[in-house]
Amino acid sequence: MLPTELCQEIISTLWASPLSPSERATFIKSSSLVSRTWNAIFTRVSSRDVHILSSSHGLQFIDILLGNARTFHLQLLDQLCHSITIQHSNKALLPGPENEKDQPLGLVIYAILDIIFMSPDRLPSLRRISFNLENYLMETIFTRNKFLYLPPQIEELEFGFSYSDDTDPLVIQAIKSRSYESFDIPPHSMTHIRKLRVLGTSSGVAKELLEACGGYSNLELFEQDAWKDASVTKTWQTPVFSTSESSSSPSINSPPLVPDGDELEADDEEADIWNFDSESENTDGATLVDDSSAIEEAHWPAHKENMRVRNFFSRRILRRVLRVFRRRQQAQD
């Protein structure tokens, strides 16, 4: 077995690398098969910088945040979590989903941010939220996310939209040139943000996010690629976090992140990404309805006193949406 310090360096360096979703999923699964020491180190590293690779992966992360998983996982996240990255790739940009039921990842993102916001003591060290999305459009992934409930401890916000090589360059140019595009994000609603990165979106979205963060004067760093204006564009510096951890590794029985083999393809809501024990996962006893009924806004109340009820409903709705989504995908195949 390699020395603990070397394992720490290897895992931290690889986890911080720009891996594709499939490469990261492979790394996650492989790390559970090496040794207990390797697994323990990986658990701490991946809990510090969390990566969510699919809708079902996000649902299991929601279970942890709601306390429906083993207490160990939640305590480790509260202690270590510094960043959350939502990373996913669509096979093609067009044709895109027509509504949010065809794009469940947006609902999962909404729920994660909302739950953290409504739980002031949850993830106190969280400082960065990143979206690394390939072949997505803002309007299909952020239909509900006006970022009114962005956790106040967040200081860095990153949007990285990329497109596959076979995407028509004229389509990409059209996306970035839409200066009129707006998502009704209120100005000065995210003044706690100090570092903003907006790549691959329209100029309208970039300007709206800039105003929501309080403008140039409120930001330490700002980067965008929607317009060319060197006089107002600050240089973005990718944050580099210390990877030094205690050489002593905790002994754990199972890793929190072990992806199912076909997770990224099937996006199955039953896939056990976080590797919970069956007796430790609370299934809430709800009957899942196999229909495509509309999701009403009433299921998403914004009042703090309804937080517990809302979290229960949000998970039921999300699971139902994912099931309908998969059935549609199977029907198309």
Residue found under tokens 């309908």: 324
Distance between CA 145 and CA 139 in Å, rounded?
10
Cβ neighbourhood burial of 325 (10 Å; 0-12, 13-18, 19+):
buried
pTM beyond 0.85: the answer is: no
Structure confidence by residue, pLDDT tens digits, 106-159? 888 888 988 898 888 899 999 999 999 998 887 767 766 667 778 899 999 999
Q: Check pLDDT > 90 for residue 229.
A: no
Is there a contact between 198 and 224 (Cβ–Cβ < 8 Å)? yes
> Could you give the angle at the alpha carbon of 74 between the alpha carbons of 70 and 78, nearest 5°?
165
Residue ranges per domain, the chain? 4-241+252-332
What is the band of 97 on the pLDDT scale with cuts at 50, 70, 90? Answer: low
Q: At 140, list the tokens.
A: 């299909």
Distance between CA 126 and CA 256 in Å, rounded?
18
Q: Letter for the amino acid at 187?
A: P
Residue found under tokens 């024990």: 277
More confident call, 172 vs 315: 172
Distance between CA 42 and CA 177 in Å, rounded?
42
Q: What is the pLDDT of residue 328?
A: 60
Cis peptide before 18 (omega within 30 of 0): no
Q: What is the pLDDT of residue 48?
A: 95
Q: What is the pLDDT of residue 81?
A: 96
Structure confidence by residue, pLDDT tens digits, 2-60? 788 888 899 999 999 988 888 999 998 888 888 888 888 999 999 999 999 988 889 88
Q: Letter for the amino acid at 280?
A: S
